Amino acid sequence: MATSDVLTELSKKALKDGIIGGVITLKRTAPDAAVHALITDMEMLEDVDSMIPYFPDNCANFIKRITKVAPPNKPILAILKPCEMRAVVELVKLVQIQNKNIIYATFDCYGTIARKDLKDKEIPKSQEFIKSVSDGKFELREICKSCDYIRSETADISYLTFEKDTLIVAQTETGKNFLEKLEVQFVESAPDKGLKSVLDIKLKAKTALYENLKSECSGTDNIFKTFAHCINCHNCMTNCPVCICKECFFESDAMDFEGDVFLDLASRKGGLRAPTDVMLFHIGRMAHMATSCVACGACEEACPEDIIVGQIFKWISENVQSIFEYKSGRDWEEELPLKTFREEELEPK
């Protein structure tokens, strides 16, 4: 059975046996669209393909919403992509998700297709997609092409595809308990088989992407050119799973001045661009959240001007996180770089 079918069948069984109260999964709303949905009715799971190569938003946002007031009393099974799982881990560390009664399941992710590329087409079924993704039949999102986080080690359960079989891995006690109750066969550690060759390709693509960004987007002129189309809508920020401030500094009164101040700002350089503070917003946002960026590319998908903001943030955040040998969402225990410090480090030169 294909992995996506295994996922659906097990979700149905867990619902039927009353082990869980609901399932969070991707569900189609149109041939070219799908959304994350919390499903409690088994019949609504009938045509579900949780692994379709589609990224409507980062599901961590939905889990944050569900657990915000109080986590559910009955477990919910959340089927997530590895990048969404990374965001969940970051949000738990940032005290935004109450990590109780959510069982996280992930799968090896082969990437997703950009929403704009799917317009008026059909999202391919996951089976068909996985079969021919290595032949280059599908154009992946840039950020997926170079994603080196295709398997999550933090989720409770990992569903892995091996040739025609599906291997279920319990990665935590919660996952083990769940699978035992379900009475399905599982293993407790994932074999590496097949992963390395995919990773090698992804890492090569990543190096190429960073090289390209370095030549196209670095330096004052190139940066302004990159963000030249920005309309300062803040869609990238609202869709970002780790941009969590209730009141954003860049939407606060700190951005408002008397008319005379605007005149003064304009007269310093002969003119003032509107909307104002575009560069301040982007570089400032990097400084605020680069340590937690999970490179899911939700920002880029949300950008109405097709700015490659996701690729830039991935590039910046990987460099920033490397200062602290940190990788966002990789591990439950690693401390957030901005929450801690060492007495002897980073002395200014």
Which residues make up the interface to other proteins (CB under 8 A)? 214, 217-224, 228, 249-250, 265, 268-273, 277-280, 283-284, 286-288, 290-291, 315-316, 319-320, 323-324, 337-338, 341-348
State phi, psi for 344 to the nearest 5 degrees.
-115, 105
* Nearer to other proteins (CB atom), residue 133 or residue 289: 289
* Nearer to other proteins (CB atom), residue 57 or residue 148: 148
DSSP letter string over 25-53?
Answer: EEEEEETTEEEEEEE--GGGGTT--TT-S
Minimum distance from residue 201 beta carbon to other proteins (Å) = 24
* Nearer to other proteins (CB atom), residue 42 or residue 231: 231
Minimum distance from residue 151 beta carbon to other proteins (Å) = 27
The whole-angstrom separation of Cα 167 and Cα 163 is 10
User: Any idea what the Cα angle at residue 165 is, between residues 163 and 167, rounded to 5°?
Assistant: 115
The whole-angstrom separation of Cα 57 and Cα 175 is 25
Minimum distance from residue 93 beta carbon to other proteins (Å) = 16
* Nearer to other proteins (CB atom), residue 173 or residue 258: 258
* Nearer to other proteins (CB atom), residue 94 or residue 286: 286
Minimum distance from residue 223 beta carbon to other proteins (Å) = 6
Tell how strand 102-107 and strand 76-80 pair up.
Answer: parallel
Strand order of the sheet with strand 157-162? 33-39, 22-30, 76-80, 102-107, 157-162, 165-170
The whole-angstrom separation of Cα 104 and Cα 100 is 11
Minimum distance from residue 74 beta carbon to other proteins (Å) = 41
